Structure 1
Amino acid sequence: MCGILGIASKLPLANQDWFSEGSIAMSHRGPDDAGEWWTNDRRVGLAHRRLSIIDLSSAAHQPMSNVMKSLTIVFNGEIYNYKELQLKLSSKGQIFKSNSDTEVILAAYNMWGVDCVKYLIGMFAFAIFDTKAQSLFLARDRAGEKPLFYHHVKGVFCFASELKSLMANRGVSHQIDMGSLDCYLAMGFVPGEQCILKGFKKLPPAHALLFKLNTGEVKVWSYWRLPEFNGKSNSSMDKNLILDELENLLESSVGQQLTADVPVGVLLSGGVDSSLITAMAARKLPKVKTFTIRFPGHGKLDETEHARLIAKYYNTEHVELEAKATTADLLPKLARQFDEPIIDSSMIPTYLVSQLVRQHCTVALGGDGGDELFGGYRHYSRLLWMQNHLGGIPYSLRLIISNMAQWFLPVGFKGRNWLQGLDMDLKYELPLIASYYDKTTRRKLLTQLTSSWPLIAEEVDQKRVPKNTDLLQRATRMDFANYLPEDILVKVDRTSMLNSLEVRAPFLDYRLIEFAFCRIPSYLKATATSKKLLLKELASRILPPEFDQQRKQGFSIPLSSWLKAGSFRELFHDVLLSTQTIFDQRIVRSLLRGQDLGRNNSERLFALVLFELWRREYAVTI
């Protein structure tokens, strides 16, 4: 796991001074080594920060060039099938001077050109400068585990793993993109290629990019898409065969992802996903390292009893770590680290877990992706219940209820979002259930900016809804393409990298992804009353009989309790009631009062605080 940075220009560069500073800004991503490379004419520069995982020797130093010096790469991530690819490429005459997966990507590009990404199994964001073609080729993994930001203006193209590296260039304006801010306040993140800063973009998951040095042109394309469902959609299918296939795929993925030249562990919460990964790891290693975190004083967050059961059953080398008491002093640090703020206070425990686990290992396997692939979120069952029970209510009546909820129920009132979602046709659409601020509230929040305030979030969201007549297929595909890469994977990447820890996700092997969406029918994922059905069947097959399959402990913090008194309350009030804030004071005070009255506004307030801390940290203008 590493950090990458690059610049390429059609004309000689006028300003290169910021480049080294940009590399230093993400030194936490790679504390083991650093490198910088430039073409002779100084029109192309690449920088790298290395966290050594595969081939710890200097032979794996980056930026890395091939033997002919015609190709140079910077790479962030891991290629889990690199050994198989190395053998295949060696048989075709490719020569290797290291045992690193970085060199395998170089050889793959040399053999197959831009189609090399189709052969890669792993998480990655990389850039290759091709001297002969005078082009810069970038690609990002299929699920979006590794980030990649870029900026292109007047023939100058820059990219980086983290936005803060590009913001080191003070010659480029750092101004809020108002449409992206609207999406942030509504969805909790900025989706797709959009970026919170005007003029900047993200390369979406499963996309590649080509920058032509001589013309200054940029071409972006998708190299992979989720397959359509083509399995049997009735109960006559052989569930045992599907279970066998799932078990084999998961075991293969975990086996590949255990490969490293540094200590590897498993993040064991005691839930279904992490327990299955532990079970598979125990088949591959004689003594698996597992880690569980205790949060003293918060019994509902205590996972140790469930994790101990799995650790004992599989005889793992189990470590129980205790998180220290958390104060609000951590929030400015996290705001600085998250290049685009996301509305997810669970970044706090995720950071604390990464900090503790890094003291024992450099690589950890987690359970991310299981909910999106196998129907694990609670809202899937709620949507199916709505479809079953509310579909017969005339649309005109549902629209009245939706409008009444918006106008007469206060923000934070339990169930308000679901009532507002009644205006959707569940045969083709999806309600924005996880909406933090509806259109009316967003308009009031930024009263002074109303004239330049594009309220586009709902339109953007609906355009991203997959065209699928199956409600559960539609909902899981929507989350896979949006919530997973823009919230879950961002949270894991930024917090783990801040601690120089690599977190891998076996469920996000693209073969497992394709299997989940192409082969598993919806009725084996979730119903109106149950979730994650097929994974629980697998759990019944291989986990201990006394394992509690019904337990679903979300990874969260007691933020509502913390806002009643203490450092979090003080920080929230200081930031949001400051004259520096861009948010309307009447709405802010109403949200604070509502929280004190027991309404569910803690995450909404977190959204505003994190954004303000981030904006001030980087002196971002409106």
Structure 2
Amino acid sequence: MCGILGVIDRKGVDEHSLRLMRDTMVHRGPDDAGIWISRNREIGLAHRRLSIIDLSEAGKQPMPSSDGTIQITYNGEIYNYLEVRRNLKEKGYIFTSRSDTEVIINAYKEWGLDCIQKFNGMFAFAIYDENAKVLFLARDRIGKKPLYYVHDHYTSRFTFASEIKALLKDNKVSRDIDFQALNYYFTFGYIPGELCIFKDVRKLLPAHAMIYHLDSGEKKIWCYWDVPVMTNKTASEDKLLEELDSLIEDAVRIRLISDVPLGAFLSGGIDSSIIIAMMSRASNKPVKTFSIGFEDDKYNELPYARIVADYFGTEHYELIVKPDVFSILPDLVRQFDEPFADSSMIPTYYVSKITRGHVTVALSGDGGDEIFGGYLVYRASLFDYYLRRFIPFWIRNGVARAAEYFPDSYSSNNIIKQLVRMGKDIDDVLIERYIHLFFKERQRQRILSDHVRMYLDNVFTAPELSRLYYLNRREGDIINRLTYADLKTYLPDDIMVKVDRMSMLVSLETRAPLLDYRIAEFSFRNIPGDLKVKRTTTKYLLRKLSERNLPRELNIKRKWGFSIPLAEWFRGPLSSQIMEILLGSDNKYCSQTYIKKLLDEHKNGTDHSTRLYTLLVFSLWKEDVIN
């Protein structure tokens, strides 16, 4: 894993500035660093290297082609690079290194922009083609590796980087806040799509590529991949299980290629446990596994992780996380460069830290929920769907109208919410149910200050992006439409961001076999929704597969994930600290009165831990980056 950077400037690229920008990402690549600047000094590329494959100087970046007309800076791993390399050698290409970087260069020379269709991996790269005078940028299909850019249309200056902090080191990049992005942050806890918290900065979306023309200063962006709609509706459950077992086994196998020590995260849940099972199949020595737990038994999954570790005879390591998060939280928040309120960043950091003490690469179970229907909200959405099919509209509408007359004090009651939903359109209900809103529209109107609301023109509806993906997937069933929306929003913009930043903070490369694009395509093409969520059972098909591979005493019905006892911490050992941070400084973005109300209600028993954490992260980020 690495950090990449590039600057195009007709006035000339300053090498000192390029070096400073590059070295903000030293954590992404502590092993080596490089810079290349064109002869006319109009383009500069930079790289920070975490050596994984071909540890020699031959793998150094930015890397030139054999004739010197192409330069690449690249972050990630191409897992099928040996296969692509063999294909290219048959076509006459000569290789001087064992690195996958050189494979990308020659693949581009052979297939041009279509080379990305040949790669199975996680990647973000930039290729400068001197003859064509273009910069070609691409990001992997799922969005595992990040790529941010700034394009000044007036000066034709273009910069890109793996992390926003590198772009902000350039004094030509404004730190003005994008208030619509801020609105999204308080809605979802993350900023979705191509938006960033800073007006000038944008993300290249997953499965997208870009061409920037140096002569004209124009760019073109396109989507090069998407999962298919369901076409195979006749395959039996046993046949699907056989194919899925083979696919996951191969996805794990190709992710075991490494010239440095390798291990795996283990929570004791289905996803990570299946990965351990497949790693044990492929390895002739014990797998190194790493787990974290909490003193509160309700959140502690270490006993389940030990069952799996003992069953497969792994070399197992554990760490108990204690509520001293304020000692590390400012550093974690800083690493994201923009507000990011997924509290599981904390356990992800700790499991990455303990893992990095023993290995450089770790496999994880990320993606199982989005690809195979693991979230409880899918089950609840299915309930809503069938409820509307079997209860006549006139009954549902009458009940909903009556429920609207309940006083506001009843608004948080789940039964009242269900009654009000009964009169709504099914798509509206499913989207409302599916999207987890940190602050709903009425709450955002109260939490955001007059200053922010002025820029938003009092428009607070933020779930349009998820709605768009869901509604555009008309061909699928309810579950496949919802998982598709997650694949396009929550997975790349929350889960992948969290794992990348927290693992890279300790210079650890993570690999997610369940997010192999072949598995994603297989799932959406072949697995109907009722084999993802079957009655009350989520992730049904993957659970059936786990019965073939995992110990019987493992309780695979539970689901915690990387949860932490945030509500308890905010009422107990961390209560005074969070109050001091949230109320102790001027805040032109949020209402202090409403913050105080949330703190008081949480102390008295109402669980506002998610909202308070969202405000806490924003406050820490604002003090560090803006103030």
* C-alpha distance 529-130 of structure 1, shift in aligned 2 (>3 A): same
Number of the residue aligned with 1:509:
516
**Which of the numbers 461, 466, 473 marks the counterpart of 1:467?**
473
Q: Which stretch of structure 1 is more off in the superposition, 501-510 or 19-28? A: 19-28
1:8 correspondence with 2:13: no
With over 3 angstroms needed to count, the CA separation of the structure-2 counterparts of 1:135 and 1:301, relative to structure 1, is same
Q: Is the 8 A contact 1:347 1:495 kept in 2?
A: yes
Q: Which amino acid aligns with 1:131?
A: E
| 2:558 equivalent in structure 1 | 551
Residue 437 of structure 2 corresponds to residue 435 of structure 1: yes
Q: Map of 1:75-154 to 2, 5 A cutoff?
A: 75-153=74-152, 154=154
Q: Distance in 2 between matches of 1:293 and 1:51?
A: 24
Is contact 1:122-1:141 (8 Å) kept? yes
What amino acid is the match of 2:464?
E
Residues 5-50 of structure 1, C-alpha deviations (whole Å, 9 max, x = no match): 11113x2237665322211111101100011110011111111111
Evaluate the alpha carbon distance shift between residue 326 and residue 423 of structure 1 in structure 2; reply closer, same or farther with a 3 A threshold.
farther
Alpha-carbon offset, residue 422 of structure 1: 5.4
Partner of 2:528: 521
Q: CA–CA distance in 2 between the matches of 1:190 and 1:109?
A: 32
Helix, strand or coil at the partner of 2:3: strand
Partner of 2:329: 331
Q: Which amino acid aligns with 2:454?
A: S
CA distance in 2, matches of 1:617, 1:405: 44
Letter in 2 for 1:300: K
For 2:440 and 2:618, locate their aligned partners in 1 and report how far apart those are by CA, in whole Å. 17
> In the alignment, which residue of structure 2 is the partner of 1:314?
312
User: Where does 1:561-576 land on structure 2 (aligned, <5 Å)?
Assistant: 561-567=568-574, 569-576=576-583
1:493-543: CA deviation from partner (whole Å, max 9, x where unpaired): 000000100110000111011001111111110034111110111111122
Could you say which residue in structure 1 is the equivalent of 2:168?
167
Cα distance change, pair 396–258 in 1 and its aligned pair in 2 (3 A): same
SS at 1:295's partner residue? strand
Measured against aligned partners, the alpha-carbon deviations of 1:226-248 in whole angstroms (never above 9, x if no partner) come to 1111121xxx6421111000000
* Residue 224 (structure 2) aligns with: 223
Structure 2 partner of 1:265: 263
What's 2:454 paired with?
451
**Of 598, 614, 618, which aligns to 1:611?**
618
Q: 1:604/1:409 Cα in 2 relative to 1: closer, same or farther (>3 Å)?
A: farther
Name 1:601's counterpart in structure 2: 608
Q: Secondary structure at the match of 2:445?
A: helix
Give, in whole Å, the separation in 1 of the partners of 2:111 and 2:386.
Answer: 50
Instruction: Give the Å deviation of 1:582.
Output: 2.1
AA aligned to 1:7 is V
User: Are the counterparts in 2 of residues 287 and 315 from structure 1 also a CA contact under 8 Å?
Assistant: no
In 1, the alpha carbon distance for the partners of 2:275 and 2:306 equals 15
- Runs of at least 5 residues in structure 1 that lack an aligned partner in the other structure: none
Instruction: State the distance in 1 between where 2:351 and 2:417 align.
Output: 31
SS in 2 for 1:473: helix
Change (3 A) 1:182 1:73: same
Name which of 244, 251, 254 aligns with 2:252. 254
Moved more, 565-574 or 64-73: 565-574
AA at the equivalent of 1:502: E
Between the aligned partners of 2:424 and 2:505, the Cα distance in structure 1 is 40
Judged with a 3 Å threshold, the aligned counterparts in structure 2 of structure 1 residues 612 and 152 are, in CA distance, closer, same or farther, namely: same
User: Secondary structure of the equivalent of 2:326?
Assistant: coil
State the shift of 1:332 in Å. Answer: 1.0
The CA deviation at 1:416 is: 8.1
Cα distance in 2 for partners of 1:220, 1:506 equals 28
| 8 Å Cα contact 2:134/2:214 also seen in 1 | yes
Q: Match of 1:539?
A: 546
Percent identity over paired residues: 43
- Displacement after TM superposition at 1:348 (Å): 0.6
| Residue 358 of structure 1: aligned partner | 356
Distance 1:417 1:129 in 2: 55
Report the counterpart of residue 202 of structure 2 in structure 1: 201
Deviates more, 1:248-257 or 1:382-391: 382-391
**Structure 2, unpaired ranges of 5+:** none
CA distance in 2, matches of 1:415, 1:333: 41
Assess, with a 3 A threshold, how the Cα gap between structure 1 residues 592 and 321 changes in structure 2: closer, same or farther: closer
Contact 2:194 2:205 in 1 (8 A): yes
Question: Could you state the TM-score of these two structures normalised by the residue count of structure 2?
Answer: 0.93
- Asked if 1:582 corresponds to 2:589, the answer is yes
Distance 2:592 2:552 in 1: 55
Q: CA deviation at 1:187?
A: 1.7
- Alpha-carbon distance in 2 for matches of 1:140, 1:421: 39
1:578: how far off? 2.0
Specify the alignment match of 1:41 in structure 2: 40
SS in 2 for 1:484: helix
SS of the residue corresponding to residue 5 of structure 1 reads strand
Q: TM-score, normalised by structure 1?
A: 0.94
Contact 2:336–2:501 (CA<8 Å) still a contact in 1?
yes
